[in-house]
C-alpha cells in the first residue's frame, strides 16, 4: 500500500478524551445516574463517529460528529448539564429523511440561557463564547440525527457552574485514516 503524505488529516475514529482533573466525582456521579437510567430502560442510543482536536489539530478548531440513533423509554439526555465555554461553538443537527433532509426526524429541546428552544428541522445553532447553553434533550428520535459540534478551541473545555469551576478535556488518543 502506498503511504499517503496527508493521511493524518483524514480522521475516521472518535476523539478519545481523558477525564478532567478535579471533576472526577461529578462525572462519576453523572455516569452512575446515566447507568441507573439505562438499567431502567431510559437512555439515548448514540455513537461518536469521529472528531478532531488537541494532538491531531494544532489549529483552534475542535469538531465531533455524533449520530443519535434512538431514544429508549424516557431517556432524553446526551449533554444534560448547563455550561458555557471560553470559545464560540456551533451545533449542527441534520436529519436523515432522504425525502426531506430539512425534516430533523425528531424533536430536540435545547436551552440557550433561560430560553427553551424546540428543534424539529435540520439547522445550525451558533453559541457565542460565555453563553450558557444546555441541557440538550432528545425528546423524540424517529430516524437517526447527526449532531456535529464545532468549537473554536483545539480541545473541549467548559465552565460547569456559576462559581467559575472549569474543566478541560484533553485529547488522549486519535486514530487517523490510512488514506484511500
Q: Would you say residue 151 lies in a domain?
A: yes
Provide the domain limits for residue 53: 7-173
Specify the higher pLDDT residue, 153 or 174: 153
Instruction: Name the 3-class secondary structure at 33.
Output: helix
Q: Would you say residue 118 lies in a domain?
A: yes
Q: Would you say residue 22 lies in a domain?
A: yes
CA distance 65 to 47: 9
Q: Would you say residue 2 lies in a domain?
A: no
Instruction: Give the CATH number for residue 117.
Output: 2.60.120.10
Q: Would you say residue 1 lies in a domain?
A: no
Specify the higher pLDDT residue, 164 or 127: 127
Reported as a single tens digit per residue, the pLDDT across 88-139 is 999 999 999 999 999 999 999 999 998 999 999 999 999 999 999 988 889 9
Q: Would you say residue 28 lies in a domain?
A: yes
Question: Which positions ≥6 away from 36 have C-beta within 8 Å?
Answer: none
Please state which of the ranges 36-45, 111-120, 165-174 shows the lowest mean pLDDT.
Answer: 165-174
CA distance 42 to 109: 17
Q: Would you say residue 180 lies in a domain?
A: no
Q: Would you say residue 53 lies in a domain?
A: yes
The predicted model scores a pTM of 0.80
Which segments of 7-123 does DSSP mark as H helices, in order? 24-39
CA distance 120 to 133: 18
Considering its fold, how many domains does the chain have in total?
1
Amino acid at each position: 500500500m502506498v503511504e499517503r503524505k496527508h493521511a493524518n488529516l483524514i480522521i475516521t475514529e472518535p476523539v478519545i478524551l481523558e477525564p478532567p482533573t478535579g471533576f472526577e466525582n461529578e462525572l462519576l456521579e453523572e455516569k452512575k445516574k446515566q447507568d441507573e437510567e439505562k438499567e431502567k430502560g431510559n437512555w439515548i442510543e448514540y455513537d461518536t463517529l469521529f472528531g478532531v482536536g488537541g494532538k491531531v489539530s494544532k489549529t483552534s478548531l475542535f469538531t465531533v460528529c455524533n449520530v443519535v440513533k434512538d431514544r429508549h423509554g424516557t431517556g432524553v439526555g446526551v449533554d444534560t448539564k448547563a455550561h458555557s465555554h471560553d470559545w464560540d461553538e456551533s451545533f449542527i443537527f441534520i436529519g436523515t429523511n432522504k425525502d426531506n433532509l430539512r425534516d430533523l426526524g425528531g424533536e430536540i429541546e435545547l436551552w440557550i440561557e433561560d430560553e427553551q428552544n424546540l428543534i424539529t428541522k435540520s439547522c445550525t445553532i451558533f453559541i457565542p463564547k460565555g453563553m450558557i447553553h444546555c441541557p440538550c434533550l432528545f425528546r423524540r428520535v424517529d430516524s437517526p440525527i447527526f449532531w456535529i459540534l464545532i468549537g473554536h478551541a483545539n480541545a473541549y473545555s467548559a465552565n460547569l457552574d456559576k462559581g467559575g469551576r472549569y474543566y478541560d478535556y484533553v485529547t488522549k488518543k486519535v486514530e487517523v485514516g490510512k488514506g484511500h
